[in-house]
């Protein structure tokens, strides 16, 4: 295995951390937040030095990176980049321990949103900006991982090749700079568009910027203790719910529209997801919780499916279990949302239906195409989807068992394990807003860190890495 290639790409994202540090340094200096500026200066120096050094080591042969090396890079990225992101937490004036700092940074980078901070109002604005920025960078890293590696047709961990012909048969890393810049332009322009929408609804600019970084990455960090402190009227609730559709649908949707390359068959997954959200919103509003308000119900549905979890849901009726199921569904395959993914559920249901149909009418020809398009569902697609589902269920019970040794009820252990593996923040929607992560034991925090990363890259990726390493050794 050529570790120089892996170091090169780790160096690229280390440089991204240094850029975020510059933003915080400029912000702190301009608004006179000089008390904690040294932490960002040190972060800039360390991340820039590491980034330049790693890039120098691996530059000579960075295009020749194998699939197994790509997977190792993604896994190490989720482990090592948060170490750099944790420096401002650890060196801040708030006496945060190293484990808590790393927990906070991993939670941000995986866009989960779990926090050891109980009262966010006690922290300065650059600190809040850093938290939100870590989510944004994590969302970008995750998109690159999906498009370039995890969605690769060779390993079929995520069947993205079934929903986008742009990804099939291409080596993403052979022209990494072009592909990364293209993704960044779409990602950044979408973020600025969301900031613009929030500003139009009179959300405070800093809150709008922080919230946009959270929204576009499907994260859970916000710049206040309660979302209701930021979102104060129905129009703001509606706009927030609409923008939470962005991390749910296909990342390339608006890009394809603007470049006139839109094909309806490539985006039927998005139509299914939007139809599902609208149907559930109407169903719950008219039949289950009419007093909650249409826009609040709409926000609860979009927030759950996008795996953000931020919500102002306040109804006395407990629908947390259903909303938890929506977090498992997740959004599009090519998006910043986590979860099992809607397409995988579609594959499992369609193949199961076709098998039953073949038993009843064996002479008839079954349609095993995805959404009745030209993309054919193969046996491996079904087997891997089923394996991922089984591993997901097993992971829930393993994590719930670990959490049961801490100060949590069985119900909360079960809920928290689902939210961890779907990278969804604890909130009022799931009856988990009172969870205090600061009081958890060190062992529990370490386990949550591991499973937050597993929820992002999927445990089947780790098995694939281990399998390839064993084959090479023997």
pLDDT tens-place string over residues 36-67: 899 999 999 999 999 999 999 988 877 788 88
- CA separation, residue 76 to residues 13, 367, 465 (Å): 11, 40, 12
Of 63-67, 98-102, 249-253, least confident by mean pLDDT is 63-67
392 Cβ partners below 8 Å, 6+ apart? Answer: 328, 340, 421, 459
- Given this model, what pLDDT does residue 175 score? 86
- Given this model, what pLDDT does residue 413 score? 95
- Residue predicted with more confidence, 431 or 281: 281
- Given this model, what pLDDT does residue 473 score? 63
In the three-class reduction of DSSP (H, G, I as helix; E, B as strand; rest coil), residue 376 is classed as: strand
Residue 365 pLDDT grade (very low, low, confident, very high; cuts 50, 70, 90) = low
pLDDT for residue 363 is more than 70: no
pLDDT tens-place string over residues 381-399: 899 999 999 999 999 999 9
pLDDT tens-place string over residues 397-417: 999 999 999 888 889 999 999
Evaluate whether 83 touches 108 at the Cβ level (below 8 Å). no
Could you list the beta-strand ranges (E) of 305-422. Answer: none
Residue 364 pLDDT grade (very low, low, confident, very high; cuts 50, 70, 90) = low
User: CB atoms < 10 A from the CB of 442, how many?
Assistant: 11
DSSP output for 122-157: GS-HHHHHHHHHHHHHHHHHHHHHIIIIIT-TTT-S
- Residue predicted with more confidence, 316 or 431: 431
Q: How far apart are CA 362 and CA 359, in angstroms?
A: 6
Burial 350-376 (b: 16+ CB within 10 A, else e): bbeeeeeeeeeeeeeeeeeebbeeebe
Place of tokens 């600025």: 192
pTM above 0.75, yes or no: yes
Q: What is the mean pLDDT of residues 274-280?
A: 96
In DSSP terms, 175 is beta-bridged to: none
> If you average pLDDT over every residue of the chain, what do you get?
90
pLDDT tens-place string over residues 201-235: 999 999 999 999 999 999 999 999 999 999 999 99
Burial class (CB in 10 A: 0-12, 13-18, 19+), 246: buried
pLDDT tens-place string over residues 132-186: 999 999 999 999 999 988 888 787 788 888 887 655 456 788 888 888 999 999 9
| DSSP classification of residue 284 | I
Q: What is the mean pLDDT of residues 437-466?
A: 92
Place of tokens 């929204």: 215
């Amino acid at each position: 295995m050529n570790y120089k290639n892996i170091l090169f790409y780790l160096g690229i994202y280390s440089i991204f951390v240094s850029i975020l540090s510059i933003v915080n340094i400029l912000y702190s200096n301009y608004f006179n937040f000089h008390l904690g500026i040294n932490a960002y200066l040190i972060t800039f120096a360390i991340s820039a030095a590491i980034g330049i050094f790693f890039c120098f080591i691996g530059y000579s042969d960075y295009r020749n990176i194998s699939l197994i090396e790509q997977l190792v890079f993604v896994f190490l990225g989720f482990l090592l980049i948060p170490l750099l992101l944790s420096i401002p937490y650890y060196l801040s004036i708030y006496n945060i321990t190293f484990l808590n700092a790393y927990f906070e940074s991993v939670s941000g980078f995986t866009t989960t949103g779990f926090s050891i901070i109980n009262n966010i109002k006690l922290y300065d604005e650059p600190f809040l900006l850093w938290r939100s920025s870590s989510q944004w960078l994590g969302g970008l890293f995750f998109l690159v991982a999906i498009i370039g590696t995890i969605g690769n047709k060779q390993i079929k961990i995520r069947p993205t090749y079934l929903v986008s012909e742009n990804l099939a048969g291409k080596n993403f890393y052979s022209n990494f700079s072009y592909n990364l810049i293209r993704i960044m332009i779409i990602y950044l322009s979408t973020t600025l568009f969301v900031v613009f929408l929030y500003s139009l609804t009179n959300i405070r600019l800093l809150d709008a910027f922080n919230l946009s970084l959270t929204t576009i990455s499907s994260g859970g960090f916000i710049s206040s203790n309660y979302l209701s402190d930021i979102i104060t009227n129905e129009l703001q609730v509606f706009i927030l719910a609409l923008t939470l559709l962005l991390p749910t649908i296909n990342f390339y949707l608006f890009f394809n529209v603007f470049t006139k390359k839109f094909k309806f068959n490539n985006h039927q997954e998005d139509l299914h997801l939007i139809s599902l959200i609208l149907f559930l919103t109407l169903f719950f509003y008219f039949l289950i919780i009419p007093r909650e308000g249409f826009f609040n119900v709409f926000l609860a549905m979009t927030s759950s499916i996008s795996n953000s979890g931020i919500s102002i849901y306040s109804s006395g009726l407990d629908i947390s279990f259903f909303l938890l199921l929506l977090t498992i569904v997740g959004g599009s395959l090519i998006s910043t949302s986590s979860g099992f993914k809607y397409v995988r559920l579609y594959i499992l249901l369609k193949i199961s239906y076709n098998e039953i149909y073949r038993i009843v009418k064996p002479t008839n020809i079954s349609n095993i195409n995805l959404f009745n398009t030209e993309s054919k569902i193969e046996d491996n697609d079904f087997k891997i989807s089923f394996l991922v589902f089984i591993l997901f269920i097993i992971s829930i019970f393993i994590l719930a068992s670990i959490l049961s040794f801490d100060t949590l009820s069985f119900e909360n252990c079960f809920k928290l394990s689902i939210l961890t593996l779907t990278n969804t923040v604890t909130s009022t929607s799931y009856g988990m807003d009172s969870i205090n992560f600061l009081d958890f034991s060190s062992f529990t925090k370490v386990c949550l860190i591991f499973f937050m990363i597993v929820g992002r890259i999927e445990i089947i990726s780790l098995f694939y890495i281990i399998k390839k390493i064993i084959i090479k050794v023997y």
